[in-house]
Amino acid sequence: MDYLQGLNPEQRAAVEQINGPVMIVAGAGSGKTRVITFRVAHLINKGVDAFNILVLTFTNKAAREMRDRITKIVGPDAKNIWMGTFHSVFAKLLRIEADKIGYPSNFTIYDTDDSKSVLRAIIKEMNLDDKLYAVNLVLNRISAAKNNLVSWMEYQKNDQIQADDIATKRPMLGTIYQNYATRCYRAGAMDFDDLLYKTNELLKLHPEVLNKYQHKFKYLMVDEYQDTNFSQYLIVKKLAAVNENICVVGDDAQSIYAFRGANIQNILNFEKDYPDLKVFKLEQNYRSTQNIVNIANSIIANNKDQLKKRVFSEKEAGDKIKVMRAFSDNEEGKLVAEDIMQQRSTKGLNWHDFAILYRTNAQSRSMEEALRKLGIPYKIYGGLSFYQRKEIKDLIAYFRITFNPSDEEAIKRVINYPRRGIGDTTVDHIIVSADKNQVTPFEVIINASQYLDGRTAGKVSMFATMIQSFQVIVKNLSAYEAALHIAQHSGLLKDLYEDKSVEGLNRYENIQELLNGIKEFSEREDLEEKGLDVFMQDIALLTNDDNDKNKDADTVSLMTIHSSKGLEFPQVYVVGLEENLFPSQMSLNSRSDLEEERRLFYVATTRAESKLTISYATSRFKFGTLISCEPSRFLDEIDAQYLELDFTAKPASSNNPFFGDERTAWTSKNSSGNASGDTFSKPKAPPVKTTSILAKAHVPSAGFAPSDTTGLQVGMEVEHERFGYGKVLTLEGNKPDIKATIFFKEIGQKQLLLKFAKLRIVNN
């Protein structure tokens, strides 16, 4: 029970409340993961069988971290907990019960590329306009239907849905959905949405299965409950219906995935489902300084739909939040890059201590260019993952066919790779023959002589024989041995080895890295099942946090704010705080959309541990045209007392203090913000003359030009273009990284790196 001693009173109360419905509202940085893991450990220590506990997360990383922590407390019994992401847990359940809904237990899990490939083929076969029926649009439409548990039959019968499709001139969407569902079923494949959709179908159509798992999972815990969609909500509600020992953990202020179907009402209305609910609020932030927590509170206070809480920090007040203004997006990148360079030098930080967060991926360009010019190493998150590389997908396609020969997409991918003289025309003929005869493409392949001409049939038959030999081999070999055999005997490894180009070498090394990963998997002691099929399921269910193969590199992190959720960094830069960018133009049509954007800003600010910097540009290139930008309304909502306005650009005056003369100060709105008024238009309070930070801004002397500071000495008077006049107090360090401590008359003492400070020596 020693683990309970390190919890604060509210955390401990939440951990010890093990029976009945519980909601833990966990503010940013409040030790949420710790509470979940301790609560699960406490259940086991109180006599609950680990086999009767279900813990659902949104990332594999979170599940692994929790299981490791629980193991340290309760020992190997932690292995028996059903714990993982929604998709991985219910994929496991479906493997056991899939036959009841007509699927093989070794069904393939299609990734997004597989789904798009199927849809492209269907759209082509139906002779539809692939611009009007763009594959991304169609896939999103089908995904939304599945997340709302709308089958293709219900889709076609729903008058409102059909009216919407007709209005957008896409009346065939329902038929595409039908063909897609049929094609996936025939291939023995489920996409990611199906893993939840089919679980709901299973529990609805087979009450004996529902009853089985209701009594198995006597205790349920759900992490990040604010991110659940309707399909996830319904599964959890059904499973908890008998015992009602359900605990959900989340933060409505961090609900930012509506575009994926997440429904914030699930957490806001949780008490309606469970009137006897006990609520615990974790309000102490252990991550960020007081100033960062205070501005986050002032931001989220403007939202109307929320579970009220007041997050606080007992850490030091810390630096004020710096707001930087730039003339253009390129200058914004330059200011951020220079500030990172200076902060790293003056504070002895590593590159990986810094993160730049933006609303859209397109904003990375100006940041990348600026970082490259200063030689700052960086990594963009959310790029091409290891498992999405062509050569990796090719080898995995061979694995997929071996275990599920009905997998049409895998067959199409590798039947002629490496080249074996089977052209596209032959592949099309195989698919058409399969459709016509209501069999799988592989059945056509293994009976090639019945469907194809002699010479072509021979080549196809050789492919079939190879796959059938793989099916025999995998039964007697370890995952690594089986994978290596397939890589070698498919010809794939030889083909890549013979490509002596730089790209070919990289592809060959990537295959070796995959094989190394499979070997490591084969040797893991914590797994009971280590077959190649189990490895394939693991990688099919990877979430974004698992795809980065170089997490420990010393680089500045660049990512969208959505990608940053769950992460933390000592220093964070949130860039592009401009109207129609952040908040996005698409969010200005409704209060709920605007409030989600505000929650996104809240998430961005609470990623920072010790220092937060916000920036915006007064002009930005868009589609090749330079446009003027208005500062974000979110800047007006931040309490002014926590800000330090560091303006270098001086655009034309306006009645917005962030846009106009620095010598004009501003007053922030009260803490209630605009919650009771109109959130659709930007409020513009008139400027007020006062002695705030803005009043202290310095106007450089005429003809200001930085001096050569090689001979700078203690006691000299200098001028800085922003901080004004000051006196050098100390000089420390060696060239070229000499740091000067200067007392400025207008703002007080600052430490600057001389090579970036741009000082004018006033006198000796």
Q: Annotate 281-292 with DSSP letters as a single string.
A: EE-B-SSS-HHH
Query: Is the pLDDT at 553 greater than 90, yes or no?
Result: no
Residues 327-342, buried b or exposed e (16+ Cβ, 10 A)?
ebbbbbbbbbbbbbbb
| The CATH homologous superfamily of the domain defined by 388-542 | PCRA; domain 4 (1.10.486.10)
At 200, give phi and psi (nearest 5°): -60, -40
For residue 686, count other CB atoms closer than 10 A to its CB: 9
Q: What confidence tens digit (pLDDT) does each residue in 243-252 have?
A: 999 999 999 9
Assign 702 to helix, strand or coil. coil
Query: Is the pLDDT at 406 greater than 50, yes or no?
Result: yes
Mean of pLDDT values over 97-103: 94
Q: Cα–Cα distance between 266 and 277 in angstroms, integer?
A: 14
Q: Cα–Cα distance between 89 and 110 in angstroms, integer?
A: 17
Architecture of domain 313-380+548-645: 3-Layer(aba) Sandwich (3.40)
Q: How confident is the model at residue 95 (pLDDT cuts 50, 70, 90)?
A: very high
Annotated ligand binding at 383? The verdict is no
Supply the pLDDT for residue 385: 63
Q: Cα–Cα distance between 32 and 285 in angstroms, integer?
A: 10
Assign 96 to helix, strand or coil. helix
Q: What confidence tens digit (pLDDT) does each residue in 65-91 have?
A: 899 889 988 888 888 999 999 999 999
Supply the pLDDT for residue 664: 30
Mean of pLDDT values over 572-596: 91
Structure tokens at 423: 């052209």
Q: What confidence tens digit (pLDDT) does each residue in 641-684 have?
A: 888 887 754 443 444 445 443 323 332 333 333 333 332 333 33
Q: Exposed (0-12), middle (13-18) or buried (19+): which is 513, by Cβ within 10 Å?
A: middle
Candidates 571, 582, 647, 639; CA nearest to 324 is 647
The residues carrying an active-site annotation are: 32-33, 223-224, 254, 607
For residue 605, count other CB atoms closer than 10 A to its CB: 26
Supply the pLDDT for residue 57: 92
Annotated ligand binding at 458? The verdict is no
Query: Is the pLDDT at 281 greater than 50, yes or no?
Result: yes
Is 1.20.120 the CATH number for 109-187? no
Annotated ligand binding at 29? The verdict is yes
Report yes or no: 515 and 484 within 8 Å, Cβ to Cβ.
Answer: yes
Q: How confident is the model at residue 260 (pLDDT cuts 50, 70, 90)?
A: confident
Architecture of domain 9-100+197-282: 3-Layer(aba) Sandwich (3.40)
Annotated ligand binding at 30? The verdict is yes
Q: What confidence tens digit (pLDDT) does each residue in 304-316 have?
A: 988 888 899 989 9
For residue 263, count other CB atoms closer than 10 A to its CB: 20
Query: Is the pLDDT at 697 greater than 60, yes or no?
Result: no
Annotated ligand binding at 33? The verdict is yes
Mean pLDDT score of the chain: 86
Annotated ligand binding at 27? The verdict is yes
Report yes or no: 222 and 56 within 8 Å, Cβ to Cβ.
Answer: yes
pTM over 0.85: no
